[in-house]
Amino acid sequence: MAKQEKSYKDFYTDFNRGISGSVLFFYGDEDYLMRWAADLVIDSCTDESTRPFCLTELDGAECTLEQIIATARTISMFGGKRVILVWDFKPLYAAPDRAAQKFIEDKLLDLAAVRSDDYVILFTLEHVYKARMTALAKKLSAVRQTGYEFPRLSRGELRQFIRKRVREGGRLINDRALEYMIDLSGYYLRDSEYTLTELNKDTAKLIHASDDEITRDLIEDVMIGEGEKYAFALIDAVMEADRPRAMTIVQNILASDDNAAMRILSLLAGQYEMMYDALQLDRQRMSVREMAAALGVNEYRFNRAYGAARRMDLPKIKELLMELYDIDKRIKTGDMDKDVALELFVLQ
């Protein structure tokens, strides 16, 4: 039977019962939760006045296991436990030669097996290294009351996470707006880089931008981004042959940011590519959700592109895409100015 990973919930239970080990190893998808758990350990072992003398943070790419152990065994002049926080210890994601690996493995696993009242050594491996965990990392993760995985939250847990922060910020959010926020975030997309760190920042922006209730419209304004909204607005104006409105949008873009033209041209190409794919998948009689999943994109963003695509035909979208590719090439070779290129694309 496969080993059952211990999660952040298990850590919290063990921590509150006072039975967590003297060597801890946090790993997984959610750096935000790892930092939260690390702060719990630090706060429980040190007080604010002596923390600078009792807490040592080490760069795991540079330090050795001998340095970590020596630091842990240095007696604090101020009493209490010494806390050694090691970020991304290299042997946990990049194995050294066999002899060095065996030495480190023996020493570290022996250290993890002993409980000390004098120190806590905390190893954290950020999400970018999860897929590269070495044999040592896997063995350390299996040590009782040492290894804890911090995976992505379930949808129910994510709802609680958002609601708690909204409530603490003195705001309200209804169920439909909350579900829309989760879907729009792309948190559950395959290979998504959107984590609790980004979600926490977006939630803070929403709290700051609202007076009382966080609405669907506000969520869209804050989380979609001006560039993408400009791209959608431009596509709508171009498809409706509304050149005055399209040129007004372009002029607003160029007036606000000298480098915006290339970004908008890239966004336009991306939207037309998605529109092209949408019409191709539509032939297979797939649902919007199935098509979005097949492309690995946010369902809301796909639905916008799909709606626009249905008002055009495949040859026209292909023609516009080829034109955008040609514009990109001509800009990069110096044959065309980027601002002029955006204006010409819109005018024709």
Question: Which candidate, 265, 262, 279, places its Cα nearest to that of 316?
Answer: 279
| 67 confidence band (pLDDT: 50, 70, 90) | very high
Task: Note the pLDDT of residue 338.
Answer: 85
Domain 8-150: CATH superfamily is P-loop containing nucleotide triphosphate hydrolases (3.40.50.300)
- Mean confidence (pLDDT) of the chain: 87
The residue ranking higher by pLDDT, 193 or 141, is: 141
| CA dist., res. 285 & res. 288, Å (int) | 9
Question: Which candidate, 125, 129, 121, places its Cα nearest to that of 146?
Answer: 121
Does residue 168 have a pLDDT over 80?
Answer: yes
Task: Note the pLDDT of residue 2.
Answer: 42
The structure tokens listed for 101 are 């690996």
CA torsion 348-233-279-273 (nearest 10°) is: 70
Give 96-136 pLDDT, tens digit per residue. Answer: 888 888 889 999 999 998 888 899 999 999 999 999 999 99
3-state SS, one letter per residue, for the chain: CCCCCCEHHHHHHHHHHCCCCCEEEEEECCHHHHHHHHHHHHHHHCCCCCHHHHEEEEECCCCCHHHHHHHHCCCCCCCCCEEEEEECCHHHCCCCCHHHHHHHHHHHHHHHCCCCCCEEEEEEECHHHHHHCCHHHHHHHCCCCCEEEECCCCHHHHHHHHHHHHHHCCCECCHHHHHHHHHHHCCCCCCCCCCHHHHHHHHHHHHHHCCCECCHHHHHHHHHCHHHHHHHHHHHHHHCCCHHHHHHHHHHHHHHCCCHHHHHHHHHHHHHHHHHHHHHHHCCCCCHHHHHHHHCCCHHHHHHHHHHHCCCCHHHHHHHHHHHHHHHHHHHCCCCCHHHHHHHHHHC
**Max Cα distance, the chain (Å):** 76
Provide φ and ψ at 5, rounded to 5°: -65, 140
Task: Note the pLDDT of residue 79.
Answer: 66
| CA dist., res. 194 & res. 181, Å (int) | 13
Strand partners, 85: 57, 122
- Please say whether the beta carbons of 160 and 36 come within 8 A: no
**Domain boundaries in the chain?**
8-150, 155-224, 226-347
Q: In what order do the strands lie in the sheet with 82-87?
A: 55-59, 82-87, 119-125, 23-28, 147-150
Average pLDDT over residues 3-24: 86
The residue ranking higher by pLDDT, 128 or 20, is: 128
In the chain, the percentage of residues whose pLDDT exceeds 70 is 91
Residue type, 216: R
Task: Note the pLDDT of residue 227.
Answer: 56
| 150 confidence band (pLDDT: 50, 70, 90) | very high
| CA dist., res. 38 & res. 152, Å (int) | 17
Average pLDDT over residues 87-102: 90
Task: Note the pLDDT of residue 74.
Answer: 84
Average pLDDT over residues 16-33: 93
Task: Note the pLDDT of residue 292.
Answer: 85
Does residue 247 have a pLDDT over 90?
Answer: no
Task: Note the pLDDT of residue 107.
Answer: 92
Distances (CA, A) of 202 to 85, 167, 197, 209: 28, 15, 9, 10
Report the CATH fold assignment for 226-347. Zinc Finger, Delta Prime; domain 3 (1.20.272)
Place of tokens 């966080």: 214
Give 292-344 pLDDT, tens digit per residue. Answer: 888 887 777 788 788 888 888 899 899 989 999 999 888 888 888 888 888 88
Question: Which candidate, 232, 230, 233, 203, places its Cα nearest to that of 218?
Answer: 203
Give 257-295 pLDDT, tens digit per residue. Answer: 666 778 778 878 888 898 899 999 988 988 888 888 888
In the chain, the percentage of residues whose pLDDT exceeds 90 is 45
Question: Which candidate, 233, 273, 266, places its Cα nearest to that of 250?
Answer: 233
Task: Note the pLDDT of residue 10.
Answer: 93
Task: Note the pLDDT of residue 228.
Answer: 62
Task: Note the pLDDT of residue 146.
Answer: 94
Highest mean pLDDT among 43-47, 157-161, 185-189: 157-161
| 34 confidence band (pLDDT: 50, 70, 90) | very high
Task: Note the pLDDT of residue 169.
Answer: 95
Does residue 1 have a pLDDT over 60?
Answer: no
Alpha-carbon Rg for the chain, nearest whole angstrom, is 26
